[in-house]
Chain A
């Protein structure tokens, strides 16, 4: 029986990711984890790429995880999860699972560095081969673990330590990679979610885990530390990202695109950009073009996405 997406029920469930971790105040990762780890009744095995979550949740001799957990390296969470899955399949088939036959699901977690960039090949290979794994990218839009360097997920205009806004170059000049669509192009279940929309995230996690085969979810994770925002603003900013169409909530299933949430009123991208210190230079005189570019691209992408849902 599927678990109902009711806060009352979810609150009564056991936390499988518990306090004592060292993630920054205001970090969105634990919010995402508490939803995902509740989304199934089957036992889960977590595989973690090197990154914020791994470093902050596993400092020996402690762990914040109450499920079997494994970290291998930075760029290979996809392959590592695939290896665990291959072992599970083989041992299940041979009747050698510890404690007898049971259904176990394997979920890999990686940040945007470990997923968009250095781990993309490993992830693509695992998805192409059809392993029964779920890969969740916690996308906080920079290499936050190492102090906020640009990644393939860092938005246009953002100042990062390796794309700093200077007097000549106003931050990162490239658009972010569209990872969710890259994953959808593998013909798998691929979805985009945000910690601000817990129910949508929970249901997507539930679906991804239930699918007998590969699935991918890209979750927007507010990072007050590297976004240079107030700690308490994180979830609100994630919500504004959805409302302003910067981060649409959608899913691709059997090749069909579906937008899960249509913003009800116009929210301008400046509401997303303004509170974040990493975009502050965009509001300086002479840089108005950056905001215009940003707005134009966001709306173009939204329109393209809407068109895709009609294909």
Chain B
């Protein structure tokens, strides 16, 4: 029987890790993901986990250790945020390029400068092209469920790619919520054992990992590295299906909220979806045809699936909790917009940057976005492509 618990996001992720009991956890503390590492340290100290728990002197070394441990065939977990993820940047590419499954729990946080410890998506958007699978969570329950599924996805032989599970810093990492924690044995059975194809520790059959390529091989190897993340969508859905069968909660590339007859919609990642649902309910009660797409899997980007849903709408606003200075809108916006390019029927799209450095986004801000979408839908007039929510200008 699942137990009902009241946990914050950090505790929820740590709880999943306690149950999974990976071979190696190597992590460096950083606000707001510190508590994940502290919980794990305590679990190990109290004998509740038998993981080899190591505390490297930096995030760069934490990810370097994860790469070494995963190459040696271990099931590996780390946690970080913000500057920590940025410091790992170089090694994130190596992890995915060597096709090493690793699961990283991220409590999103703004990037310096100015230094700021609060939640936004700049950190994970900064590593969107690193080749890691990227899964977002709306609440503690999803963070917990996503971590459990992440091991299955990343370690699947057709994928063999690292996975980043992310939740909004403080908003989720530090806010307690009701959630279900499944039985230890059930979680362990669901996740199973990692079965690496090759390992450094197989000393009878020595292998070489990370050799140098020149112009004659690099391109072919680089291309073949993408196969794992290209295979991921199928596996993500299979794992979600099994998860639903076992634990009853449903997951896909995204969640659609009141989209069936919607004419306008918002596309958003993470905890803001929770706020937006409240607004959708309120507007629906007033007879407005508004809906919400909460994207869960950001990489690989489910372009066709997203576009199939959005193409029949009249107007769509994408809410980006990260900027892309000098670009054509935030990162989520450019992906959504590119996905729709081939479609004859497509909505008018607008982008909003919101919540940088943890700036609040309240129901009335979201209501204003829907209000504008309805005007756009009625008039066909888009106005500004990019706007900012709750910003003093």
Chain A residues with a Cβ under 8 A of chain B: 43-45, 47, 54-55, 58-61, 63, 65-73, 75-76, 78-91, 93-94, 96-99, 102, 104, 121-122, 124-126, 128-129
Contacts and interface: CB of A to CB of B under 8 A. Distances in A.
Please indicate which of the listed interface residues A75, A88, A94 has the most CB atoms of chain B within 10 Å of its own CB: A88
Interface in B51-85: 51-52, 54-58, 60-62, 64-74, 76
A122 to B, nearest CB: 5
A291 B186 CA distance: 73
B327 interface: no
Given A61-B217, A67-B203, A75 B208 contact: no
A126 B69 CA distance: 14
A164 to B, nearest CB: 28
B31 to A, nearest CB: 21
A93 B74 CA distance: 12
B71 A70 contact: yes
Contacts of A121: 57-58, 61
A81 B71 CA distance: 11
A60 B65 CA distance: 24
Contacts of B57: 121-122, 124-125, 128
Nearest to B216: A60
A82 B65 contact: yes
Please indicate which of the listed interface residues B67, B200, B204 has the most CB atoms of chain A within 10 Å of its own CB: B200
Contacts of A60: 211-214, 217, 221
A214 to B, nearest CB: 13
B91 A76 contact: yes
B202 interface: yes
Interface of B: 23-24, 26, 50-52, 54-58, 60-62, 64-74, 76, 90-91, 94, 199-204, 206-214, 217, 221
Contacts of A129: 54-56
A303 to B, nearest CB: 34
A73 B206 contact: no
5 contacts: A58-B208, A87-B68, A87-B74, A88-B201, A129-B55
B68 A82 contact: yes
A91 B212 contact: no
A104 B201 contact: yes
Contacts of A96: 23, 73
B90 A73 contact: yes
Contacts of A94: 23, 50
A221 B50 CA distance: 42
B211 A80 contact: no
A86 B24 contact: yes
A89 B52 contact: yes
B67 A83 contact: yes
Contact of A122 (B64, B70, B206): B64
A67 B205 CA distance: 8
B201 A80 contact: no
B16 to A, nearest CB: 18
Given A71-B210, A83-B67, A87-B52, 4 more contacts: A79-B61, A79-B65, A84-B72, A90-B24
Contacts of B76: 87
Contacts of A69: 206-209
A54 B213 CA distance: 11
A71 B208 CA distance: 8
B209 A71 contact: yes
Nearest to A97: B201
Contacts of A84: 68-69, 71-72, 200-201
B24 A71 contact: no
> Shortest 9 CB-CB distances between A and B: which pairs?
A83-B68, A125-B57, A83-B65, A87-B72, A58-B211, A87-B74, A76-B64, A79-B61, A79-B64
Please indicate which of the listed interface residues B57, B64, B210 has the most CB atoms of chain A within 10 Å of its own CB: B64
Given A88-B201, A90-B52, A91-B23, A67 B206 contact: yes
